[in-house]
Structure 1
């Protein structure tokens, strides 16, 4: 990466055992930060806490990190205090800065990243207008190589360092012909050598959301650590349900098991459980996990039997633009699978002939309500927790032998005792073609010449007569069960239906350019699918009646072939289905493809 012709010179202060980095200048309405680490350059194992001590009150979204990012809306003097501590030591100091009026770019966001981690930055648009003539260079610190396929969102891998090191990357550009710039500061932290064969790439720093959690000392080392070499025993970290017994509504016990990279993630998750779980579905299903990890580097979300934890992408949890700024935008590693196939399988959740969730572009810096989070987060949790309850349903918590969950899983799997095993034995999927194609699209298998020749009509002929509700069902028997449960519960509890279709794959892929060859809304109520969904509901949540739920779901509605995915947003069931929106008036949302989130890792 090119080094800037004019290097930046951050102000360095060392006092009270703390090393502080300040920007060379601070401008109002520009992304800014103060950076702290210990004087010896090793902050590993310490907790950070910032607070503002003077100046016009700022909105501080991230206060639990070595880097304090903020935007001052007005010029003036500001003061902050940072406290750094572990079990043996505590350090604290203050810092004062002056913010001037000025005009510049704003790059989101100054933050801490572990060495070897994937890092993303985002250059703000101003009032919706794109910055022209964008350039990037290194203004201070170690060399990195930026991926600039999207000039507004550069990606790179944090360099290896011997001690915590400041990296300053500069963005330049013009707005209305006026040249502007901004320096973004990143603290690259030195970490312990990777010894885990599981987490063999860098993972973000995380901490217990509840500082007083009785599980604080074991959570990270048992579920999210580069030093994890084997499963922790159930004596060390049991399932939540083994601790709470019959009291599944005990959200305190659940939140004691939450591990986060940023505190806002735990706060929003807790608010969701307290306000948007009226039937205690998620509280009950969470009894079958050991922990909930919400971290800025989790993408995609997944459940992992080795730790018994679920790992959630915080993209489903942010409420403010500042919260969203903290989330890494590195793409899902599976995005390129199946590129040579000639069809797509898009999906979406809908309610009243409209998208159930609202897509908000990061460039627009909008906030959203907790209610807007519900469709995406609920569907994600129903899916991931289906895996956990498939492996370890509440009915067996009292008889788990261990010593680890992995041992327990291996015994149950060998005996075909899982709900997904029973589903496959009793009501198996039939299409060998779809199963093979799923290996290409979701597992990275190489496509055969025959598979690359399949047209959408061919794939529709394989899929539509079978009893899966989505293409992703064919990836594994575990995903088959989870997809059935997810769609059924979304329709039953929230009145939200799922669309799935087989479309073509034009050169430019979007909701308005792909053409539906076959599609359905509410396929979960298809007669061939119903008994399979009912069976897995009964297994995962025996307090419900799967057959009764399935019988009460709205009947499936066929899509109009030959029309675009967007045009098929408004469908009529022939029973006076309300047509509340016109496709021409619906803002186009990004196309979601089958399996683009939540794999289960065994």
Structure 2
């Protein structure tokens, strides 16, 4: 997806706090990709009719361990007119991740007879039918993921499974059915493309073929490209994924999508239509929060609900969520953001998945900003650590693994703290009774003009001063062209600019709103979880990995720097006054300096008595093998 109009319209005033789920499919969007070739042999689906008019499209056969699909439709009607619900009624229990989609994906772990029931509802009419299938015990050699529905014009990603940890050899791709498409195969095991416009809901089948043990093997992935209503929104003018209210009984079920994530949003909703959660009820009731959740997949809402129920013992998130109108979690949101125009936070589910099947449903299209600042000579990486170990479960998509909440919670907590810091920057709970409307955006303008935002107060009391870092932030985070002076800066120059100022992270220089959010996020992670944030300045080699970039300067727990304390206290006191920030900020751990001249990975252990060789040995142990060389995280990469 190209950069959406709402990022342009509101960037100066409203999207200074994280925004944008958009991304480009290719490294150079100015050069069109060629059409993918057609397969020599096409693929077809079986058509199964019923007396009610509901039609099932099924694959010719189903095997154990094979990514599989069923498609339901009502005659020739487009699916946007209906609501879908799939359930399994016979056979060994499966993990279901697409129950609310017209295209149902699954993977059977054992052979046998299975049956699925589909209920389709529309205005005044309900269809309900069952479809039996037989799964054989033939083991597939090649697996292509993931069958799913995508709206026309939206980004699509499909991925081939590795075999014994290796990319299948002689891997090639072709179109087995459906419209012509243009694949970005810069990573040959992950195909990216933009779904073409279609005259009606259309099945697209893409085939991958490879050589395994001297034999040619292939697999198909099935995509339902859906015809959507014409885009009329000036806010969401690029296609967005289909979403639904997590709680169908919510009094806001019909309002959520229309007001916060719709290509038909032509005017902003009033606060009497969708008020902040805390405007109506100050009780910390998770059900009131879940009534405002909008998701593209059921599991996203389920995991979010479990996080609130089981992993918020101090009710921090319940309090912070009082300042949003809605929570949107969708497979096409990347990176996460808060938008004052709607009052909602928009979350990338990549920090929320627990099973490999859940992760399979998340689109891999890269952040559209990924090439910004590529002609600069430095990087500013970050990571969260505890006891000299990563707390992030940073496993590449090539490895299909499950994880538990112990692995997932730190990343999701930090993400929520950041986005909710934005919401509470604009509308802290102390402001709720004073909001006049008619739109939340009108109240934002009044508060902004009067310098009442928390970030405005932070800037007034303790401003950042490095003009060099402000200008570099325009290059790295907004895509401005770097000047010759900026291109000439070396890591030691950046170290001086940054370390002598009072920002907790490079991203703080992108806007005053990000400055406040970064302070709040890092302080809360240290206080509540004893997890500290590393920030550093390194070189920028051609192949940048944790073990190849060399640290010029860095700190662990910069939020504990004395010069940052008053800034952190100001933000926390206005967002969560219950916490008595003055006392605990003063007791945050003092920062630990990194060792210049060593790699980012070697600086994972900053315990004085532990040698670098001991660190490497520890990271190579079986228990930490997945984290031995995690993907590099760079400042601002999770937010916009």
Q: TM-score range with shorter-chain normalisation? A: over 0.9
Output the CA distance in 2 between the equivalents of 1:505 and 1:584: 26
Report if the CA contact (8 A) 1:492-1:549 is conserved: yes
**Consecutive unaligned residues in structure 1, runs of 5 or more:** none
The residue that corresponds to 2:100 in the other structure is: 64
3-state secondary structure, aligned to 1:489 = helix
Report if the CA contact (8 A) 1:308-1:388 is conserved: yes
**CA 1:426/1:464 → structure 2, altered by over 3 Å: closer, same or farther?**
same
Output the CA distance in 1 between the equivalents of 2:612 and 2:208: 46
* Aligned 1:400-415 pairs, distance under 5 A: 400-415=435-450
Output the CA distance in 1 between the equivalents of 2:513 and 2:91: 54
| Cα shift at 1:473 | 0.2
Report if the CA contact (8 A) 1:534-1:549 is conserved: no
The residue that corresponds to 2:17 in the other structure is: none
> Paired residues, what number?
595
Report if the CA contact (8 A) 1:14-1:39 is conserved: no
3-state secondary structure, aligned to 1:36 = strand
Report if the CA contact (8 A) 1:416-1:422 is conserved: yes
Do structure 1's residue 28 and structure 2's residue 64 form an aligned pair? Answer: yes
Output the CA distance in 2 between the equivalents of 1:464 and 1:372: 31
The residue that corresponds to 2:635 in the other structure is: 594
Output the CA distance in 2 between the equivalents of 1:33 and 1:254: 33
The residue that corresponds to 2:553 in the other structure is: 518
| Cα shift at 1:578 | 12
3-state secondary structure, aligned to 1:368 = coil
* Aligned 1:457-476 pairs, distance under 5 A: 457-476=492-511
The residue that corresponds to 2:363 in the other structure is: 328
TM-score, scaled to structure 1: 0.97
* Aligned 1:173-572 pairs, distance under 5 A: 173-245=210-282, 247=283, 249-572=284-607
The residue that corresponds to 2:78 in the other structure is: 42
Output the CA distance in 2 between the equivalents of 1:127 and 1:66: 33
| Cα shift at 1:581 | 6.5
Output the CA distance in 2 between the equivalents of 1:41 and 1:178: 42
Report if the CA contact (8 A) 2:396-2:630 is conserved: no
Output the CA distance in 2 between the equivalents of 1:579 and 1:496: 22
The residue that corresponds to 1:160 in the other structure is: 197
| Cα shift at 1:51 | 1.4
Q: Which has the higher contact order (CA 8 A, sep 6+)?
A: 2
The residue that corresponds to 1:582 in the other structure is: 615
Output the CA distance in 2 between the equivalents of 1:225 and 1:580: 53
| Cα shift at 1:591 | 0.7
Output the CA distance in 1 between the equivalents of 2:436 and 2:610: 52
Output the CA distance in 1 between the equivalents of 2:466 and 2:355: 44
Output the CA distance in 2 between the equivalents of 1:64 and 1:27: 24
3-state secondary structure, aligned to 2:455 = helix
The CA deviation string for residues 360-402 of structure 1, in whole angstroms up to 9 with x for no partner, is 2322211111121111011101100000000000001011001
Output the CA distance in 1 between the equivalents of 2:463 and 2:583: 22
The residue that corresponds to 2:162 in the other structure is: 125
Output the CA distance in 1 between the equivalents of 2:427 and 2:147: 41
Instruction: Say which of 121, 125, 135 aligns to 1:85.
Output: 121
3-state secondary structure, aligned to 2:398 = helix
3-state secondary structure, aligned to 2:487 = helix
**CA 1:530/1:578 → structure 2, altered by over 3 Å: closer, same or farther?**
farther
**CA 1:263/1:429 → structure 2, altered by over 3 Å: closer, same or farther?**
same
| Cα shift at 1:584 | 4.3
Output the CA distance in 1 between the equivalents of 2:532 and 2:500: 20
Report if the CA contact (8 A) 1:472-1:479 is conserved: yes
**CA 1:580/1:371 → structure 2, altered by over 3 Å: closer, same or farther?**
farther
Report if the CA contact (8 A) 1:400-1:408 is conserved: yes
| Cα shift at 1:445 | 1.0
| Cα shift at 1:122 | 0.9
| Cα shift at 1:40 | 2.2
| Aligned-CA RMSD value | 1.5
Runs of 4+ residues over 4 Å off in structure 1: 576-581
| Cα shift at 1:541 | 0.9
**Consecutive unaligned residues in structure 2, runs of 5 or more:** 1-35, 620-627
| Cα shift at 1:53 | 2.5
| Cα shift at 1:90 | 1.1
Output the CA distance in 2 between the equivalents of 1:478 and 1:332: 20
Output the CA distance in 2 between the equivalents of 1:555 and 1:227: 50
**CA 1:524/1:577 → structure 2, altered by over 3 Å: closer, same or farther?**
farther
Output the CA distance in 2 between the equivalents of 1:4 and 1:330: 25
3-state secondary structure, aligned to 2:184 = coil
Output the CA distance in 2 between the equivalents of 1:58 and 1:496: 36
3-state secondary structure, aligned to 2:63 = coil
3-state secondary structure, aligned to 1:420 = helix
Output the CA distance in 2 between the equivalents of 1:358 and 1:409: 37
Do structure 1's residue 53 and structure 2's residue 86 form an aligned pair? Answer: no
3-state secondary structure, aligned to 1:148 = strand
Output the CA distance in 2 between the equivalents of 1:194 and 1:376: 34
Report if the CA contact (8 A) 1:353-1:579 is conserved: no
Report if the CA contact (8 A) 1:26-1:100 is conserved: yes
Report if the CA contact (8 A) 2:85-2:119 is conserved: yes
Output the CA distance in 1 between the equivalents of 2:531 and 2:256: 35
